[in-house]
Amino acid sequence: MSSEIRALEPKQLWNKFADLNAVPRPSKKEERVIQFMKDFGNNLGLETIEDEVGNVIIRKPASKGMEDRKPIVMQSHLDMVHQKNNDTVFDFDAQGIDMYVDGDWVKAKGTTLGADNGLGVATIMAILESNTIAHPALEALFTIDEETGMTGAKGLKGGLLEGEILLNLDTEEDDEIGVGCAGGVDVTATRAYKEEETPEFKIGYTITVKGLQGGHSGMQIHEGLGNANKLMNRLLFDGFENFGLRISEIDGGSLRNAIPRESNATVAIDAVHEAAFEAEMNDMAAMLKFEFKTMEPDLEIIVSKTETPEKIMDLGVQEGLTRALYAAHNGVYRMSPDIEGLVETSNNIARVIVKDGAIKIGCLTRSSVESTKEDLANTLRATFELTGCEVELSGDYPGWAPNMDSDILKVMVPIYKRLNNGEKPHVAACHAGLECGILGTNYPDMDMISFGPNIKGAHSPDERAQISSAQKYWEFVLEILKHIPKA
């Protein structure tokens, strides 16, 4: 771990972040980071418990003079999205994140950084460890599996927490105070198909789409970024329409909450079409690069000859698949009519796998309105069912309805203005999935708010955390803790 990270200010925050990032912590494999957090709490002599699903709660009494304030919960999630560049050799299950400083930013070498939500976790750890920071009675809530199902928040039972105010530290713009978020549902389409022997007169090609930015499938879905699965399907569809291209395998995207950056396909065409096919694919590549030249300047589309695959998809299933992927909605479905600039409903076609006689398509549908979320999920369901897929809707979680009359909001806005020369914070709902909505189902009377430092490119290897913003955010946190209302 680079010593230059530990030398950054505020040292309390960056040192705890460095400690945390030395621990592998992929979603659904949080055993090591859970033990790390329990050891941390126990070594401080604080009450530390692990609940039935793996969430860790550490309780710290109020500092001297703060005993009459409302008890609070500070909450962040332990898991991180694991993404890396294709040319990066890295084992997320065994290695800590390799960080470095680039100007005003902390980055990772070829992987996600884990600032989402590691900076929030590190903030809470620093406060738990400090003997000088003023704060009311504090419950630190470290949830698991936020990134792939929010099962930690879902599994947290009512009555376990005693705090009256929850500070969620999972917002990624330092001028924003979050008061609401989108809910989500996973849409998964599957079907089996018959594989056929590839005829002798066919030749093989690999098609690769790469170099896309990727990013957060909620916070960045409106930016017009390229989706590797949709771009690949355009190439496959065109190849079939003009040259009878047959698909052998597709492997596109990765996690549901990450806009897919890369896709690879193995295909076969009639040998007689070799020259014309290559020319057509080059023309298609040039056209797509032109379409995305502003948002995706590093887009690469590579078409190269390879060994002819032994098996190809059943023709009828292939036609249905490519048409369904063309028809399936990706991106913004509806903007909020009530909050200017807020995406209300969207979908990310995150994962497409075609291999060994099985198709699997994974989407994440988000919305701040339950009925519209259901509408878009059913639109996708109908699209894939028309081509013979079985469709499962799972992992449904609710949104968080804004409360503009929040008491903690009334505390935080004037503090922000005072610290920032009168500048007003942006009080808004976001299109990401935060755990507040889920936690609110069992703690409906808890006053909740979300904020955090500037983090860019979350869920991609371009993830980076701004050093100056972390300093601004840290000062904001300390002032909020001093001014929690009296009970």
DSSP letter assigned to residue 42: H
Q: Answer for the pair 13, 470: CB distance below 8 angstroms, yes or no.
A: yes
Q: Answer for the pair 429, 402: CB distance below 8 angstroms, yes or no.
A: yes
Separation between Cα atoms, residue 353 and residue 367, nearest integer Å: 25
| Residues classed as catalytic | 79, 146
Query: Does residue 25 sit in helix, strand or coil?
Result: coil
- 317-323: long-range contacts (C-beta < 8 A, 24 or more apart)? 317/191, 317/193, 317/194, 317/359, 317/387, 317/388, 318/240, 318/246, 318/247, 319/240, 320/386, 320/387, 320/388, 321/247, 321/354, 321/359, 321/387, 322/233, 322/236, 322/237, 322/240, 322/247, 323/237, 323/387
Q: On the CB side of 221, how many CA atoms lie within 13 Å of its CA?
A: 33
Within 357-435, residue ranges assigned H as helices are 370-385, 407-419
Cβ neighbours, 10 Å, residue 390: 12
Q: Which residue has the tokens 């935060």?
A: 434
Paired residues of 362 in beta bridges = 188, 351
Separation between Cα atoms, residue 154 and residue 146, nearest integer Å: 10
- H-helix or E-strand containing 266? strand 263-270
Separation between Cα atoms, residue 248 and residue 356, nearest integer Å: 9
